């Protein structure tokens, strides 16, 4: 029986080349360029030549300026504040929605589609809608609170309530996406586990904590990882909902300034590309650190045995 001898790299290269070129042009070269720019004070307006790089070279000065200033730690604190509010709420809401949709009832498919509509909505449209909903003067939420006799907060105009308002918007936008992921995990759990537990007299809470959560832990780990990475890259809702005329995003009083917003502001508002690149690489370092930490901690709660 004749078998075709593998041709090795010579045959594989034509198939790999388009993807390799895309990776080089759209990922590796921009990474290298941003690292180079982070070592300069280039303004983004002049033509970038070797002479310009030499004249604007500051080495690690941009990183020292960012880490040595109070702004970086305040912005990082704002980001962590968002994460502390957002991650538990998105996990809880997505899990609750996925369990509600994981039933065999007539019309459940319609509700699955409805729950996913916010995900398909563009951030521009969704953020503008929520900017109106959270308006302290004519917003829907404060109108409902007023009907209940509660004085609504200033939301996006209030330093205390601005970030919770951003969290509410993010929950509305993202819950359907993560619910769909968790729904896939729930449907992958064999009904025989629950049938055996019922024969032993297990109630709903026992089945949820002893069967559902352990078997769903790999999917939950994926969701936690994605939510944390997305949280550190928080930007479109900040850009649209907190920008006032003639001012940079992050209002009020810098309460919603986050990492990506600072990168945008320094690059395209202040034209300090070198400093913006330094912020970007520090963001990369923070995300990498927390991702590695999650992979280390997964051994304590994620089960791949089932």
C-alpha distances in Å from residue 4, one per residue of 1, 68, 74:
10, 62, 62
Give the containing element (helix H, strand E) for 38. Answer: none
CA dihedral 268, 270, 273, 278 (to 10 degrees): -110
The rounded distance, in Å, linking the Cα atoms of 207 and 198 is 8
Q: Which two tokens stand for residue 134?
A: 């959270």
Q: Is the pTM of this model over 0.95?
A: no
Write down the pLDDT at residue 248.
64
Between 47 and 175, whose confidence is greater? 175
67-101 burial, b if ≥16 CB within 10 A, otherwise e?
eeeeebeebbebbebbbebbbeebbebbbebbbeb
Q: What is the CATH number of the domain that holds 187?
A: 1.10.3720.10
In 14-52, which positions are buried (b, 16+ CB within 10 angstroms) versus exposed (e)? eeeeeeeeeeeeeeeeeeeebeebbbbbbeeeeebeeee
Instruction: Tell me what pLDDT residue 216 has.
Output: 93
Q: Is residue 62 part of a domain?
A: yes
Is the pLDDT assigned to residue 300 strictly greater than 90?
no
* Any domain includes 271: yes
Residue 237 and residue 170 in contact, taking contact as beta carbons nearer than 8 Å:
yes
Look at residue 130 and tell me whether its pLDDT is greater than 90.
yes
Helix orientation angle between 162-187 and 123-133, rounded to the nearest 10 degrees: 130
Is the confidence at residue 3, as pLDDT, over 80?
A: no
Residue 48 resides in a domain: no
Statement: residue 228 has pLDDT above 80: yes
- Span 105-119, mean pLDDT? 89
Asked if the structure places residue 251 within a domain, the reply is yes
Joined tokens for residue 163: 């970030």
Q: Does a structural domain hold residue 15? A: no
The number of distinct structural domains making up the chain is 1
Q: What is the extent of the structural domain holding 181? A: 55-301
Residue 49 lies in a domain: no
Listed in sequence order, the DSSP H helices in the chain are 9-23, 29-37, 50-56, 61-68, 70-101, 108-120, 123-133, 140-147, 162-187, 191-199, 204-207, 213-232, 236-241, 259-268, 273-301
Q: What is the average pLDDT value for the chain, to the nearest integer?
A: 89
Whether omega for the bond prior to residue 120 falls within 30 degrees of 0, making it cis, is: no
Mean pLDDT to the nearest integer, 53-81: 92
The reported pLDDT for the residue numbered 262 is: 93
Residue 17 lies in a domain: no
Q: What is the rounded average pLDDT of the residues 220-227? A: 94
28 domain-assigned:
no
């Amino acid at each position: 029986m004749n078998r075709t001898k593998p041709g090795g790299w010579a045959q594989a290269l034509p198939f790999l080349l388009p993807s390799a070129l895309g990776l080089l042009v759209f990922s590796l070269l921009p990474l290298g360029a941003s690292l180079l720019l982070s070592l300069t004070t280039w303004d983004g307006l002049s033509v970038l030549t070797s002479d310009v790089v030499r004249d604007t070279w500051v080495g690690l000065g941009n990183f020292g300026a960012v880490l040595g200033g109070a702004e970086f730690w305040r912005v990082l604190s704002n980001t962590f504040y968002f994460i502390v509010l957002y991650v538990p709420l998105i996990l809880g809401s997505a899990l609750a929605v996925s369990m509600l949709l994981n039933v065999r009832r007539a019309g459940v498919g319609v509700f699955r589609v409805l729950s996913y509509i916010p995900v398909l909505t563009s951030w521009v449209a969704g953020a503008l809608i929520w900017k109106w909903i959270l308006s302290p003067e004519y917003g829907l939420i404060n109108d409902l609170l007023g009907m209940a006799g509660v004085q609504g907060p200033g939301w996006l105009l209030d330093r205390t309530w601005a970030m919770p308002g951003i969290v509410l918007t993010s929950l509305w936008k993202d819950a359907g996406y993560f619910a769909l992921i968790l729904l896939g995990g729930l449907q992958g759990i064999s009904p025989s586990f629950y049938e055996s537990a019922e024969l032993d007299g297990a109630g709903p809470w026992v089945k949820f904590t002893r069967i559902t959560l352990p078997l769903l832990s790999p999917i939950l780990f994926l969701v936690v990882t994605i939510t944390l990475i997305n949280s550190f890259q928080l930007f479109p809702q900040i850009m649209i909902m907190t920008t006032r005329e003639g001012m940079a995003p992050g209002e009020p009083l810098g309460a919603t300034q986050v990492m990506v917003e600072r990168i945008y502001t320094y690059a395209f508002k202040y034209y300090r590309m070198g400093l913006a690149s330094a912020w970007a690489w520090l963001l990369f370092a923070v995300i990498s650190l927390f991702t590695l930490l999650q992979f280390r901690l997964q051994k304590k709660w994620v089960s791949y045995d089932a």
